Structure 1
Amino acid sequence: MKIVRWLAGLAAAASLLTAVSAASQSYPSKPIRLIVPFAAGSGSDILARMLADPLSQALGQAIVVDNKPGNNTTVGTELVATSPPDGYILGLLTNSGLAASPGGLTSGVRYDPVRDLSYVTLVASVNYVWLVNNDVDAKTAPELIKLIKANPGKYNYASGNTGGIAYGGYLKNIHQLDVTHVAYKSTPQALADLISGHVQLMVADVPASLGMIRSGKVRPVGVPAAQRYVLLPDVPTFVEYGLPTPPNMDGWWALVAPAGTPDPILDRLNKEVVKILETDAFRSKLLQSSFVPTPSTRQHATQYQKDQLQVWKSMIKDLDLKVE
């Protein structure tokens, strides 16, 4: 009797594997929903729609972008994490929902980004830059630090997203700056007040601020990194200034599927997306929109998320960061 049960179980397992294999080979056979955890018109939404068209052509099925914002991107991220693992619901998710929020920045996170998700590839990243209002009498990061220390309590610094909160908190803490944090719901709102002088300092993402930098409406004083940014080649780094350099908390996107999605489907998606990201035309298109393409293997994307989760856990604990 035990042998019969064992044979029946083996047959059932073989049948399941055959069904999974058949489904993978025919994938995709219907449109795919691409979850974006931000509202329409956001940088994530723009990136998703840029990717959706060539990926749809490569897969032979429509890619439907579905915006699911909320709770610092955890609403959309949770939707992907709890969806059927069949490859028909994917997420273009960010460091906010994959590292910062589950690292402790946001309360009410009900998913595990390591256990509940499969990583297809990294897609793109955005860098951050330290900015000042044009009336601030400092042209470099060291000058700005000196100015703030000479005028305790005089300056306000803005943040408009997760990276702005983290980098701003790092600078305030590491240099013991007596400045007041003003949190905004969006980066455009914060930049508008930086230009008008309601706030004097800000660490902003490059895509949101590049046009204002180039038009001279705000002044960059340094980038919190070891190497100069491709989109800001004339702005010195903290390393060049001899300043402590924070861990990498730049924004990034990954194409993600629910955990348990069959490997053949994940491999197909990785192959097609990486091919798109590595074309000169698409790379140029991304850079023109201030996105830096970052195609990767599945393994690298998986490890990168784990590494970033640890970075954010440490920074959130050390700086007592939170979404306000």
Structure 2
Amino acid sequence: MKKSWMSGVAAFIGLFAVFPAQAQDYPAKTLTVVIGYAPGGGVDVPARYFAAKLTKLAGVPVIVENRPGALTNIAAAAVARSAPDGYTLFIASGNATMASNPHLFKKLPFDPVKDFTPVTTLFKIPFFVIVSSNSSVKSVSELTAYLKEKGDTGNYGYAGTFTLAASELYKTMAGLRTVAITYKVPQQSMAALISGQLDFLIQDATNVIRQVQAGRMRALAVTSQQRSSLLPDVPTMQEAGFAGFDMLGWFGLYLPANAPAPVVEKLAGWFNQIVAEEETRKFLANVGSEPFPGSARSVAELQARELERWGRYLKAARVEPQ
């Protein structure tokens, strides 16, 4: 009996002793960064940038594994089933994979809270309310007045969940009857805006920043709570009179559930070191993004708020789960 009790104590102590060893020896082999997007564009570009930077800090190869499909649910499910040893990393959209997808699907192959360990935020993508440069509209207040005058002949375009929800939120708060027009990809809606077929768009900086800088589009407001460093002279929707309007695209780093705390801390430290570099700021600006440093606690708190908000946004946009 005494021997059995002593064995149990030894096993208990050994369980906790393994964590410092894991942190000290970690990583001892190749790290895999999983993303839910196809190679060559979008999130794949910053993911490979971070992977290359992490290789230098961690001293081991870091590869990017693309698992596109089902609005990133395939990638998320694969990571959720992986061993929680710190060798499978997940760069995920906090506002989409972890917040809006649970409201878009009746059944998910993962739980965004229970199946993942938050590590840190990485970068954010601002969205802007834009009109054609040929439009006479110069502000959100002017756009609102213009659309009220047009009634149900006014329109906007969208090619994704975020742009639909943001546009419908503006429409509801402004009391508009504006009609939504669906496009397969953002580029189609942008071409329609420039040609005068649409009254306005809400679109991410990745797609519109160069169009605005080239003078083909005019940015009226940014949808986030704070102004964007990419277009610092553009006011927020809150500054434009829409109190509480706060929608932001952002990406974070996650591990499978129950990952060791020392490993989480080490990864958070490395990624925040990368995010803090001036080279990273310039790289992200070039792809329409901004640095978004954080911690395991901050990303968990943000995700909880986003889950609640996106439930409201999608309900207001009358988007039914499939």
TM-score by length of 1: 0.91
Aligned residues: 321
Structure 1 residues 183 and 311: alpha-carbon distance in aligned structure 2, compared to 1, 3 A threshold? same
Structure 1 residue ranges without an equivalent (≥5): none
TM-fit CA distance, 1:135: 4.2
Take 1:239 and 1:17, find their aligned partners in 2: how far apart are those partners?
Answer: 48
Cα offset, 1:14, TM superposition: 3.5
Matches within 5 A, 1:230-269: 230-246=229-245, 248-269=246-267
Within 5 A, what are the aligned runs for 1:77-116? 77-94=76-93, 95-102=95-102, 104-116=103-115
Indicate conservation of the 8 Å contact 1:71/1:106, yes or no: no
Tell me if the contact between 2:164 and 2:317 (Cα under 8 Å) persists in the aligned partners.
no
Q: Deviations along 1:261-294, whole A, 9 cap, x unmatched?
A: 1111111101111111112222232223321111
Q: Assess if the C-alpha contact under 8 Å between 1:128 and 1:204 holds in 2.
A: yes
What is aligned with 2:308? Answer: 310
> In the aligned structure 1, how far is the partner of 2:262 from the partner of 2:242?
46
Deviation at 1:170, TM superposition (A): 0.2
Q: How much identity, in percent, do the aligned residues show?
A: 30
1:60 lines up with 2:59 in the alignment: yes
Amino acid at match of 2:290: V
Long gaps (5+) in structure 2:
none
Change (3 A) 1:240 1:22: closer
Q: Which residue does the alignment assign to 1:28?
A: 27
Superposition pairs for residues 166-245 of structure 1, below 5 Å?
166-245=165-244
2:169 and 2:316 in contact (8 A); partners too: no
Letter in 2 for 1:199: L
Distance 1:182 1:138 in 2: 20
- CA positional deviation for 1:71: 2.0
Which shows bigger deviation, 49-58 or 285-294? 285-294
- Alignment match, 1:286: 284
SS, match of residue 252 in structure 2: strand
The residue type paired with residue 200 of structure 1 is D
- 8 A contact 2:173–2:242 mirrored in 1: no
1:146 match: secondary structure = helix
Q: Secondary structure at the match of 1:239?
A: coil
| Residue in structure 1 matched with residue 271 of structure 2 by the alignment | 273
Contact 2:30 2:61 in 1 (8 A): yes
Counterpart code for 2:100:
A
Please say if 1:69 is aligned against 2:78: no
Q: CA RMSD in A?
A: 2.2
